[in-house]
Structure 1
Amino acid sequence: MTEMCGTGDFGKMFNRAKPYLFTVGLQFGMAGTYVFSMASLNHGMSRLVFVVYRNVIAAVALAPFALFFERKTRPKMTLSVFVQILALGFLEPVIDQGFTFLGMQYTSASFASSVMNAVPSVTFVLAVILRLERVKIKELRSQAKVIGTLVSFAGALLMTLYKGPQVHLFHNPNTTHQESGNHSTQSHQHWIAGTLFIGLGCLAWSSFYILQSITIRRYPAELSLSSLICLVGAMESAVVALVAEHRSQAWTIGFDYRLYGPLYTGIISSGIAYYVQGLVMKSRGPVFVTSFNPLCTIIVAALGSFILGEHLYLGSIIGSIIIAVGLYSVVWGKGKDYVDLTSPSGTTTPTKETENLQLPISSSTNTK
């Protein structure tokens, strides 16, 4: 009996920890996106072609799982859901990825991830406007979310505007940063334009989170929805690439970062990321998912310095600390919201957690 009780307690703790584990793991995966994407662009790959390949790979990787696991549980497609999927494919693969990669070429991978820390703030504001997020300014939990969002945004703004002295952490002169010496000069000349492009991508990404949280409720098949978003995004971005990119050589790939970049970002950053986001959003909402985004900046800063040879500045370190404080405040407030939505005693309901955060299983398994 003691062993059974211990196993049950562990199961409850694991169910409570699932959203945090999934979201933190998602940030590690997204950190690799900036590094692999920047390396691919430094090797001469067209950003428009990169987006097309990335989403094609994601759709191909997810489709078999969606067809198998959700073949009997997939809801019927409606016109309104189809229009939302078209909008999702345009917001993330076309606008967000396209403009973020353009801004990244003008700046750096770590800088792009820093600016993207504004996503939680923008998402929070949009969620409040659309009444997806409850805010009662007299409640401590709401104050924590508002203050945490502002603090995180202030940290991201500090990283954007203040560099400070250079910090030599993992700098390696033999990395891809050396190959793009002329590109570095161009990046400083277009730093403001790059920031604006990344900001536009940030707005598109926040809008994508909001719309995805709405669509997942009307079409509760995470794998199928993710596959369709990637497929539609690939088609829409292909149209843009065919119109804007006239060089046939731009579509060629080899056994280097021009292949590794789309392969990694397609499977991890588009395919698995969309699926995990959908799972967590069903129980915690879009603000909870985006509140962990600042962790990605800290990871990218270290990886960018080590792999890409990008310089790490004091402003980035100070900003990361400020962002971490704001992140804790938002997560604390969201945690209080979730406890309030569960049983009166403050304990979570296992069935709800299991329904919202379970891995896909076939209907035959459900019957058994």
Structure 2
Amino acid sequence: MGVSGKLEEVVPFALMVTMEGCTIALTILAKTAMNGGMSPFVFIVYTNTLASIILLPYSFLFHRGERIQQPLFTLPLLLRFFFMGLTGIAIAQNCAFMGLYYSSPIVVCVMGLTIPAVSFLVSLIFRTTKLDWKSSSIRVKVVGTLISIMGAVMVEIYKGPFIRKASSSQLQAQKPSLFVFYTAPDRWVFGGILLATSSLSVSLWNTIQMGTIKQYPQPMKVASFYSIAGTLQCALISLMVERDLNSWKLKLNWDVLLIVVTAIFGSIIRTSVHISCTRMKGPFYVPMFKPFGIVFATTFGVRFFTNALHYGSVIGAVITGMGYYTVMWGQLGEDELRKGKSVERVESSDEKVPLLQEQNEV
């Protein structure tokens, strides 16, 4: 392997590891900001608003020179943008950030790792996947789903001893106005339910997204328009929930910088890297790095930030990570089998072409 070949392997790997590290760092910083008094609803609206403003012109620059025949503003696509915004932003992010508020960044990582398992369960419910026990890939996915669920449940019901305790300032955090009946921000079961809801919503979003990209194969433009739809939906939800006008006032401090950095990173940097790595390495390359978030959440939480961390969380996260890779392994096997069948159909059709030509010539 030459120098260029090594770079093709090292650069995507380094980029993906960096993306996961930055994602977890921003998640922990968001947790710290919310514990310091920032409303999760306000954070979501401001972040997505700025992200949408940045993403819309960037999406046209990203796909410049690409020409497709499918018109963008059709009723089916607009409905898809609406439901992608609803599932991928309005429901998923509000539940995720509220879940983050009531739990911890490592619990967010764990629940994120259950998304392939939840997606598999959703496909069984909607009968897009048949539970064929003769298929080795289905059996692997079932085992992986059970492992993922066990790991997530362990994180919720067993904390274990502290690796690091939260700082005293976190214990005096303010509460969002909708949930004032909770007496402490560290409500893991409630947070876990919210995060599980977010994972379910993301699974539905993934299903809608795959169909949308097939109809309109310019992912950055799709992302920009469903981002706008989701931002408007978040604004309506947040204005109904967060009625304290003081919560919407931003001061020129660390929180504003966090909103700006999160918006730029989420809308342009991470999305561009994910699309580029997917095109270079295939659809399974990017998801393989998601469990790296556990390592970063543990390391950052202990070394640099003030969030509490428990041994039970780390053990449960490792179990969930094993389940995640097991489900992905089953999915990979299923896709390879599907591709093999497609190749067989193409080869069989190619064999028939000369016969058809001979008939036409006669």
1:1-59 CA-partner distances (Å, limit 9, x unpaired):
xxxxx559939x958x96x8776555434323421321221232221121111112222
Q: Which amino acid aligns with 2:308?
A: H
Q: Which runs of 5+ in 1 are unaligned?
A: 1-5, 347-368
Contact 1:34 1:113 in 2 (8 A): no
Under a length normalisation based on structure 1, what TM-score does the superposition of the two structures give? 0.75
RMSD: 3.6
User: How many residue pairs get matched?
Assistant: 330
How many percent of aligned residue pairs carry the same amino acid? 24
Equivalent pair of 2:30/2:258 in contact (CA under 8 Å): yes
Q: 2:299, 2:30 → 1: CA distance?
A: 16
Q: How does 1:311-350 map to 2 (within 5 A)?
A: 311-342=308-339
Matched, 1:179 2:131: no
Instruction: Please state how far the C-alpha of 1:235 moved relative to its aligned partner.
Output: 1.7
CA distance 1:340–1:199, change in 2 (3 Å): closer
Q: Tell me which residue corresponds to 1:145.
A: 141
Instruction: State the AA in 2 paired with 1:178.
Output: S
Structure 2 gap segments, 5+ residues each: 175-182, 344-362
1:186 aligned partner, one-letter code: A
For residues 331 and 24 of structure 1, the distance between their equivalents in structure 2, rounded to whole angstroms, comes to 18
Matched-pair contact (CA < 8 Å) for 2:155–2:313 = yes
Residue 67 (structure 2) pairs with residue 73 (structure 1)? yes
Q: Per-residue deviation at 1:119?
A: 2.0
Write the mapping of 1:202-351 to structure 2, written as runs, cut at 5 A: 202-273=199-270, 293-342=290-339
Q: Which residue of 2 aligns with 1:89?
A: 85
- Amino acid paired to 1:252: K
State the distance in 2 between where 1:222 and 1:298 align: 29
Q: Secondary structure at the match of 2:239?
A: helix
What displacement does 1:199 show?
Answer: 2.4
1:44 is paired with a residue whose SS is coil
Equivalent residues of 2:36, 2:173 under 8 A apart:
no
Match of 1:308, SS state, is: coil
Structure-1 separation of matches of 2:128 and 2:258: 35
- Alignment partner, residue 102 of structure 1: 98
Tell me which moved more, 190-199 or 229-238: 190-199
1:339 deviates by: 3.8
Match for residue 64 of structure 1 among 54, 57, 61: 57
What is the CA distance between 1:342 and its match in structure 2? 4.8
| Cα distance in 1 for residues equivalent to 2:67 and 2:223 | 15
Q: How far apart in 2 are the matches of 1:132 and 1:280? A: 28
The structural deviation recorded for 1:341 is 4.7
Paired with 1:291 and 1:135, the residues of 2 have a C-alpha distance of 24
Query: Aligned equivalents of 2:93 and 2:126: distance in 1?
Result: 24
Aligned to 2:350: none
- For 2:129 and 2:278, locate their aligned partners in 1 and report how far apart those are by CA, in whole Å: 12
Q: Kindly provide the amino acid, as one letter, of the partner of residue 122 in structure 2.
A: L
Over 3 Å counting, the alpha-carbon distance change for 1:216 and 1:32 in structure 2 is: farther
Q: CA deviation at 1:143?
A: 2.1
Task: Determine if the alignment matches structure 1 residue 164 to structure 2 residue 167.
Answer: no
TM-score, with length taken from structure 2: 0.76
